[in-house]
Amino acid sequence: MIEKRKFNLSFPVEIINWNGRIIHLKPEREIAAQLELLAAAGISSVMVAGLHREEPLAFDLSKAAVRIGKIIRHHGFEISSHHCLLPVFAPLADSQAPVRQIMEETVRFCHQLGTGTMVFHPGRISGRHLDVQSIFAGFEKEAAAHGVTRIIETAAENLREMAEKAAAAEMRIALENVGRFEPLADINLLPELIKTVDRSNVGFCVDSGHAHAFGEAVPQWIKLAGKKLFETHFHDNHAALAGVALPGQFIQSSKYFDQHLFPGDGTIPWEETIKALLEINYSGAVTFEVSVKPDLEALHQYRKIIGWWRKAEIEAQKLIA
């Protein structure tokens, strides 16, 4: 019999402003306002995102990581994860050293931030990308020249080096399923990549919305990840791409496909999803990747999600014999 329990819940806190040209840090008062609302809702874990080298910065990255970490801890919160943006491989005919340097720096500033888990997409090729079509084109060019297996092997070599640096800092790497919104991210290739990396601190971040959008069962993803499920990005949608014949290998994400609805507002089978979490004895944070604006209705929205989830937990535990 699986012990009945409540999961530790986590929500995003926005720490940056992006104007399409340069990343700025949000003022401390705006970050604090979000944290105060979450504290009032009974939450003590947060996910952050936006600190990376892939876009121009208006601040020193290391200093910003230290500062943001201090602000969050000052308000009594822990950081469940930081959602990074970074390349996983360079063109295979080129040196992988620049990618590995970025990976090492990412471990360093995430450690300075104070998070134990780094989340990022698994198939981003190096270079300046103004849109996802550039990422698609770069991957497809390399796949045509060298094959997908060789790309996975190269990415795995890079990730193994990153994993060693992360392990020394007692940190984990969680690669996110993105379906066919980006390369190496569907239910066939992402598990193959993680298996090839073969490091205990390299695992999965299961994004429920990305899975469900393409008709990949969220409980199946959770069971597949097993003890290597390190983080969740939970939100809902209506599986608009399930069974749809796509014109190419990849498709650009949109709010129509990837709606980021509150859990329960779409068609994901949440009781089965929670049951799967219980069956693998998931002990990490359940992070909801939904947007709640810090206004007068925000506290009500947080409480609505939390209350709905707690009821779903009770129902899910009834399914376990």
- For each of the domains in the chain, give its residue range(s) and CATH number, in order of start: 15-318 (3.20.20.150)
Given a cut of 90, whether residue 4 has pLDDT beyond it is: no
Given a cut of 90, whether residue 127 has pLDDT beyond it is: yes
Question: For 180-208, what is the mean pLDDT?
Answer: 98
* pLDDT at res. 320: 87
Q: Where does the pLDDT of residue 291 fall: very low under 50, low under 70, confident under 90, or very high at 90 and above?
A: confident
Q: Are 232 and 286 in contact (CB under 8 A)?
A: yes
Strands (E), 216-302: 229-233, 286-287
Q: Where does the pLDDT of residue 3 fall: very low under 50, low under 70, confident under 90, or very high at 90 and above?
A: low
* pLDDT at res. 212: 98
Q: Where does the pLDDT of residue 1 fall: very low under 50, low under 70, confident under 90, or very high at 90 and above?
A: very low
Given a cut of 80, whether residue 27 has pLDDT beyond it is: yes
Task: Decide the pairing of beta strands 23-25 and 16-18.
Answer: antiparallel
User: Residue 65 CB: number of other CB atoms within 10 A?
Assistant: 23
Task: Decide the pairing of beta strands 117-120 and 172-176.
Answer: parallel
* pLDDT at res. 85: 95
